[in-house]
Amino acid sequence: MSLQLDSNGRLHHLLTLDGLPKETLCRLLDRAGQIRDAALGRTHKRDSLVGTTICTLFFEPSTRTRSSFQIAAQRLGADVVNFDASTSSARKGETALDTMRNLEAMGVRGFVVRHPEDGAAEMLAEHTGEGTTVINAGDGRSAHPTQGLLDMLTVRQAKGPDFSRLKFLIVGDVKHSRVARSDLHALHTLGAGEVRVCGPDALLPGDGTLAGCEVGADFDAMLEGVDVVMMLRLQRERMEEGLVASLDDYHRDYGLTAARLRRAAPDAVVLHPGPINRGVEMTDEVADGPWSLVLRQVSNGVAVRMAVLETLLA
Ligand code: NCD
């Protein structure tokens, strides 16, 4: 996407990992790795964004993404305004574009945008003034690039930088998942050895999303020997009725249990972007067990978002 990169290859907005050059992606991951200590609050606040105002513009609920962007911006010295559609003039029908333009007129330079519609972040990026940056924090089912980056950083820390040795398995509601799409883009760019995708037919996308993946419905078979299991939330808010017969059936067929996990490689790790439906996508034993990198993902989210904010705005 040319909108996010200028002719010198400089990143202006972050809208998708699709087509983002490997060097750009790796540079962001390297930077996030370096600032991890600061990200976890162990060193003094940095000052690279002092005087910059950033707005989290959220038209959908969020816990992790919004707070970690806010923490990341504050740890870089920025001022942060949190816009919540449910308590704003969006309730009176003001559009996302008008909302952004008004905040831009107050001097906001960075917009972190979450929106239920595909392409919303890109649409806003097309309309920003010179020097204003848009970061996609999840649009519809399309993309969630910082989640893709933090997942890659988490795997890299656990398994090393050579993804060509690794077998990945993405499980569940891929159809409605922007996380899965961003993970797939990054895994292809980083040269993952094998990418398997598993879920009920009704929850797998029919478009070209799964090109280059091994796709199957039998979870136990797909788990054999994998190094990294990436679980997804059932996105019931984006689902037509009836795609999943019942949560019990879903858990029986696609729920990750400790017993099931024995089929994976002995040192396999488990990721989930949150929020977890405990007892549906995975048991407590898995979510809280030694394989789980779920909270590591959350910590890495701050580091990744610091690296992204600094790259785009400092
Ligand atoms: C994800 C999202 O909103 O896309 N959550 C997150 O950002 N960590 C995944 C989800 O809601 O299932």
Segment 112-135 mean pLDDT: 96
Q: Is residue 63 part of a domain?
A: yes
Q: Quick check: 1 pLDDT over 70? A: no
This prediction has a pTM of 0.96
Dihedral over alpha carbons 213, 302, 91, 97 (to 10 degrees): -70
273 lines ligand 1 (CB under 6 A): yes
Q: Which atom of ligand 1 is nearest to the CA of 65?
A: 7
Q: Is residue 230 part of a domain?
A: yes
pLDDT recorded at residue 39? 62
140 lines ligand 1 (CB under 6 A): no
pLDDT recorded at residue 9? 85
Q: 77 with 59, same domain?
A: yes
Dihedral over alpha carbons 134, 137, 138, 139 (to 10 degrees): -20
145 lines ligand 1 (CB under 6 A): no
Q: 107 with 138, same domain?
A: yes
pLDDT recorded at residue 44? 66
Q: 236 with 269, same domain?
A: yes
The Cα–Cα gap between 133 and 135 comes to: 7
Q: Which atom of ligand 1 is nearest to the CA of 144?
A: 4
Q: Are 144 and 136 in contact (CB under 8 A)?
A: yes
Between the CA of 210 and the centroid of ligand 1 the distance, in Å, is 20
pLDDT recorded at residue 42? 67
Between the CA of 275 and the centroid of ligand 1 the distance, in Å, is 7
Q: 99 with 153, same domain?
A: no
More confident residue, 79 or 43: 79
Q: 196 with 134, same domain?
A: no
Segment 87-105 mean pLDDT: 88
Between the CA of 313 and the centroid of ligand 1 the distance, in Å, is 24
Q: Is residue 10 part of a domain?
A: no
Number of domains in the chain: 2
Q: 309 with 263, same domain?
A: no
pLDDT band at 43; cut points 50, 70, 90: low
Q: Quick check: 100 pLDDT over 80? A: yes
Q: Is residue 77 part of a domain?
A: yes
Range of the domain at 207: 145-294
Q: Quick check: 149 pLDDT over 60? A: yes
pLDDT recorded at residue 38? 65
More confident residue, 235 or 279: 279
pLDDT of 254-311, one tens digit each?
999 999 999 999 999 999 999 999 999 999 999 999 999 999 999 999 999 999 999 9
The Cα–Cα gap between 112 and 81 comes to: 10
Q: Quick check: 84 pLDDT over 90? A: no
Amino acid, single-letter form, for residue 93: G
301 lines ligand 1 (CB under 6 A): no
pLDDT of 194-216, one tens digit each?
999 999 999 999 889 999 999 99
Q: Quick check: 22 pLDDT over 80? A: yes
52 lines ligand 1 (CB under 6 A): no
236 lines ligand 1 (CB under 6 A): no
- Counting ligand 1 atoms within 8 A of each CB, the residue from 58, 60, 146, 147 with the most, and so the one to mutate, is 147
Q: Is residue 89 part of a domain?
A: yes
Q: 264 with 138, same domain?
A: no
Query: What is the percentage of the chain residues whose pLDDT exceeds 90?
Result: 83
pLDDT recorded at residue 244? 82
pLDDT recorded at residue 88? 77
